[in-house]
Amino acid sequence: MSRDLRGKSAIVGTGHAGFGEAHGLTAYDIMAQAAQAALADAGLKLGDVDGLFCTMMEDSMPALMAAEYLGITPRFIDGTMTGGSSFVNYLTSATLALEAGLCDVALIVYGSNQRTASGKLVTASRPPAYEAPYNPRYPISAYAMAAARHMHVYGTTREQLADVAVAARAWAQHNPEAFERGPLSREDVMGARMVNDPLSVRDCCLVTDGGGAIVMVRAERARDFPKAPVYVLGSAAESSHRQISQMKDFTVTAARESGRRALAAAGVAAADIQVVELYDAFTINTILFLEDLGFCAKGEGGAFVEGGRIAPGGALPVNTNGGGLSCVHPGMYGIFTVIEAARQIRGDAPGIQLKNVDLALAHGNGGVLSSQVTAILGSQATV
């Protein structure tokens, strides 16, 4: 996003639905409930939506399915599918479409019933031809190999990986919306059933139902809505591969580039960010993204998360809703990084509300560390 787009669009509504188990509902039902919630939050109606930004785990044309279900005929539609990062990516395309006058009310929306439907990741994507014969577990085998490499090169430990899960749980324990709120210790994580070495089941995100939605408008009218607007100050993407075998360096993600450009567009530094929402599909993700986004040096992510430094009361608040590890993870988590960042800025976070948040970072990850998208959000004071 160029500097010209800084603060040109704003989030004026957020909503979610079906967290945990949404028995009897389809993915599209949950999507629609989230859309209703976000529009109610913004004081708008479905009929006001003329820009739709959506993808789902089901179907090859999910954005069309969603528009049809909602009974809308959007004049701008973006169904770009980059995995869980898609919804952070839509902040860029929604900003462009709004700014160009191609739509006036942008709805970003997602829903999934993967927990009650199957209990595991639902995906319409085919296993890559040159990897499928080895029976990798998609996507955990890829993340496990990234974790193994990080441990080998930088001496990162299983204890440090566990600390990421423990911190996420500590945030979740204060969040009534979070799915997992029981106690969790380092020992619990390390002693849990191994799935793909070095990752145990507690190093992995949840499998839940859930949906999320975001309503965006042009900045010029952002103050005409019930909730305080949250401005998109910068957003940027970088894609590095699709299949894990094609990842150049298993210890460095494209978040290094997406983060650098998003921060530059917003005109801020990592040190200015007050709250960080990262797509934590696995514990290694948080460590990789803290490094690549510039919160610590490469290789120091393990030490950075030790001793409760990213937990409540720590030096840097990370994944304040409990993240994909403990709050919600319905197949793709990306939209919830933006929703929690926006709510922290607005002052209506469901769990621990941090004081006076003006600048937040939301980071989406898609595929197998393949697509990285970073967004910087700000309060009225930042524009």
Using rule CB under 8 A, residue 120 touches other proteins = no
Binding letters toward other proteins, positions 246-285, x by CB under 8 A: x---x-----------------------------------
Using rule CB under 8 A, residue 137 touches other proteins = yes
Decide whether 103 or 146 has the Cβ nearer to other proteins: 146
With CB under 8 A as the rule, give the number of residues binding other proteins: 26
Task: Report how far residue 123's alpha carbon sits from residue 56's, in angstroms, rounded to the nearest whole number.
Answer: 9
Contact 229, 12 (CB under 8 A): yes
Using rule CB under 8 A, residue 297 touches other proteins = no
Decide whether 33 or 283 has the Cβ nearer to other proteins: 283
The residue within the footprint of other proteins, chosen from 3, 23, 75, 152 (CB under 8 A), is 152
Burial tier of 101 (Cβ tally within 10 Å: 0-12, 13-18, 19+)? exposed
> In the block, which residue shows the tokens 């993340």?
143
Minimum separation from the CB atom of position 134 to other proteins (A):
5
Tell me which stretch binds other proteins (CB under 8 A): 113-121, 123-131, 254-262, 265-273: 123-131
Using rule CB under 8 A, residue 76 touches other proteins = no
Using rule CB under 8 A, residue 302 touches other proteins = no
> In sequence order, what are the residues at sequence separation of 6 or more whose Cβ sits closer than 8 angstroms to the Cβ of residue 295?
270, 273, 276, 304, 316
Per DSSP, the residues of 57-114 read SSSS-HHHHHHHHHT---SEEE---BTBTHHHHHHHHHHHHHHTTS-SSEEEEEEE-H
Tell me which stretch binds other proteins (CB under 8 A): 60-68, 169-177, 244-252, 296-304: 244-252
Decide whether 149 or 186 has the Cβ nearer to other proteins: 149
- Helix ranges, 119-249 (H): 140-154, 158-172, 186-191
365 in helix, strand or coil? strand
The residue within the footprint of other proteins, chosen from 68, 125, 245, 269 (CB under 8 A), is 245
The residue within the footprint of other proteins, chosen from 100, 135, 182, 356 (CB under 8 A), is 135
> In sequence order, what are the residues at sequence separation of 6 or more whose Cβ sits closer than 8 angstroms to the Cβ of residue 31?
54, 56, 66, 69, 109, 110, 111, 211, 213
Task: Report how far residue 287's alpha carbon sits from residue 68's, in angstroms, rounded to the nearest whole number.
Answer: 40
Tell me which stretch binds other proteins (CB under 8 A): 191-199, 318-326, 348-356, 360-368: 191-199
User: Which DSSP symbol is given to 119?
Assistant: S
**Beta strand ranges found along the chain (DSSP E):** 9-20, 51-54, 76-78, 106-112, 194-196, 199-200, 209-218, 230-239, 275-278, 359-366, 371-378
Using rule CB under 8 A, residue 148 touches other proteins = yes
The residue within the footprint of other proteins, chosen from 196, 320, 326, 365 (CB under 8 A), is 196
Tell me which stretch binds other proteins (CB under 8 A): 7-15, 92-100, 132-140, 215-223: 132-140
Minimum separation from the CB atom of position 160 to other proteins (A):
18
Decide whether 17 or 244 has the Cβ nearer to other proteins: 244
Task: Report how far residue 152's alpha carbon sits from residue 161's, in angstroms, rounded to the nearest whole number.
Answer: 14
Q: State the residues that interact with other proteins by CB under 8 A.
A: 129-131, 133-137, 141, 144-146, 148-149, 152, 193-198, 243-246, 250
